[in-house]
Chains A and B, each alone.
Chain A
């Protein structure tokens, strides 16, 4: 395995609100290796966007992060940076692609200039040179007849084209880490596939690392090397794509996989996870997923499960993996996946 370029250690993010403290991120740790794509998946409200904003130093004003949390980017703790130092990181070393291309471009500025902006800021080159580079970037992200469109305004472009422009902005200063927060959620399916392919192609060319946020496991398979599953401000399971898809251990991951349409899904077998995520003002004791978990054990409501090792690369935080736990039979579709996993293992051996 290659070196981690980013290490997140014991990250906590709290939001002070009138109603109390929202514990949005509760002890999250993960590594991001050079050149890899890490997907973070989870239902809406699980803390994915807060994680990405924290990595950009762009959290809301009411956020507070305790001192023992660490974000190590090339061995420098980002959480200790001043605002000015952050500005050097943003768009330069870590860049971000936002969810909604319809609103993330400035409606009153020419697209070419918007792409040139990070270059002028971080490379210190002239506006003219930056615009020439912006043109290349536009071609690179597949904007047809880029020369004719460099002076267009966002409203003249479709959502898919705008998202390409947003990607060009993120890539402009050649960042080492690219964070994409649901970059295709606002796009329709065919455009989604084009944007995902573009991101994969660009990553191969630049060898940057990507953190890919999505609530849709369906787009993860073709994109990611590793997957972290998030629930109620915690990572509950992480592993390689194959491990998460074919050897999932956490009942929450089972639930996510079962609510994901696949090509060979039997009709009527799709199931949303029942219930709703807990209130992060008062996170429950024990396993936060327990109230929605049909496989919950008595201990789940008392004590939080630690991470159990499944393999060197695969960990899951569920008491079901404790040796004292009763053996449970997961849903049928998961058993099918496990069977496929056995085949894969057999082939490798």
Chain B
């Protein structure tokens, strides 16, 4: 197990290296330059370029970036002078992480419940209603949902604050729901089909033949077996939350890294773009690794190697 995790971590570092390299060069293709404020004179721009090392040949810039990165120095933001990328992200990452984690936990738990209810009521009204709801949940993008939620519960019935972060928990309610609906819908559908399969499996038939009640069968046999495949969804869903949260953070004025990422692109804030991309990639890979380890713990048939 430990050996496996170590192997995965080495692979992770290698992948990260590829991601950094690709992003670094792709960024250069973007039109425009970082310092395009009309008030800046050409001399000042040249000076700035020199200060940030942008006058060097590309390969040299790349080398510098890599060397600094291995020392934990990801440069300084162009946009917010004198703020290191590490510090900028360090302030904002916890906010995004909290939002994402809240949405993921609520989404998965809701999905597990609704999926099981749907499966046990297969093909009746409850199942049908949940089917429609989950289809909507999957197909409506989170930002549209956010706007609807804002309108309904921010303005029409002002139950929750419409923007901000960190002053009270209620500020996080609407953005969390907007983000959680997608994962909840995906998990609902997945658990439903897995549960239906489990409930018609031979081992559930045997459990029935043992004289267990339907409730005991669901709790002791069907749930665990239908949850294992759901675990594999968590990695990709976490990725969806990352990208989804960039828009949600903007809509609700949440000072997370998503908001920062979005604003760093038009300003060509290269170090911030790089830093955020690295964080996204790292978080995604760590989530997938955790998912795999969890699967191995829950599913006795899976041996990590």
Q: Which of A50-64 touch B at CB < 8 Å?
A: 56, 58
Closest Cβ–Cβ distance, residue B227 to chain A (whole Å): 9
Q: Is the CB of B300 within 8 A of A153?
A: yes
Contact present for A106 and B210 (CB under 8 Å): no
A86 and B201 alpha carbons, distance in the complex (Å): 20
Shortest distance from the beta carbon of A125 to any chain B beta carbon, whole Å: 15
In Å, the complex CA distance between A91 and B206 comes to 9
For the complex, give the distance between the alpha carbons of A108 and B225 in Å: 7
- Closest chain A residue, CB of each to CB of B302: A155
Q: Give bound CA distance, A95 to B210, whole Å.
A: 7
Interface string of B31-50 (1 = CB under 8 A from A): 00000000000000000000
User: What residue in chain B is nearest A122 (Cβ atoms)?
Assistant: B211
CB distance from A121 to the nearest CB of B (A): 6
Q: For the complex, what is the distance from the CA of A169 to the CA of B201, rounded to whole Å?
A: 17
The answer to whether A58 touches B206 (Cβ under 8 A) is no
B156 at the interface (CB under 8 A from A): no
Q: Indicate with 1 or 0, residue by residue over A212-230, a CB within 8 angstroms of chain B CB atoms.
A: 0000000000000000000
Stretch in A34-42, A97-105, A262-270, A289-297 touching the partner? A97-105
Assess the B210–A118 pair: CB atoms within 8 A. Answer: yes
**Chain B: interface size category:** 20 to 34
B202 within 8 A of A: yes
B202 CB, min distance to chain A CBs, angstroms? 4
Q: Measured between alpha carbons, how far is A90 from B299 in the docked complex, in Å? A: 29
Residues of A within 8 A of B300 (CB): 107-108, 153, 155
| Bound-state Cα–Cα, A118 to B210, Å | 6
Q: Give the size category of A's interface with B.
A: 20 to 34
- Majority DSSP secondary structure for residues of B touching A: helix
Q: How far is the CB of A162 from chain B (nearest CB, A)?
A: 11
Inter-chain CA distance A21–B58, complex, in Å, is 77
Assembled-state Cα–Cα distance A117/B216 (Å)? 11
Per the 8 Å Cβ criterion, residues 100-137 of A in contact with B are: 100, 103-109, 117-118, 121-122
- A257 CB–B CB distance under 8 Å: no
The answer to whether B301 touches A107 (Cβ under 8 A) is yes
Q: Is A96 on the interface with B (CB-CB < 8 A)?
A: yes
A199 near B: Cβ within 8 Å? no
A98 to B220 CA separation, bound complex (whole angstroms): 20
A121: contacting residue among B202, B205, B210, B228, CB under 8 A: B210
Q: How far is the CA of A108 from the CA of B299 in the complex (A)?
A: 6
Q: Which residues on A sit within 8 Å (CB–CB) of B216?
A: 121
Known: A98-B202, A153-B301, A155-B301. A106 touches B209 (CB 8 A): no
- A184 an interface residue at 8 Å Cβ cutoff? no
Query: Judging by beta carbons under 8 Å apart, are A105 and B208 in contact?
Result: no
Q: Per-residue 0/1 for B193-235: is the Cβ within 8 Å of any A Cβ (1 yes, 0 no)?
A: 0000000011101111111110010001100110010000000
Determine if B301 and A106 form an interchain contact, defined as CB atoms under 8 angstroms apart.
no
A153: nearest chain-B partner, CB-CB: B300
- In the docked arrangement, what's the CA distance between A24 and B101, Å? 53
B262 sits at the interface (CB 8 A): no
Binding site for B on A (CB under 8 A): 56, 58, 84, 86-92, 95-96, 98, 100, 103-109, 117-118, 121-122, 153, 155, 166, 169-170, 173
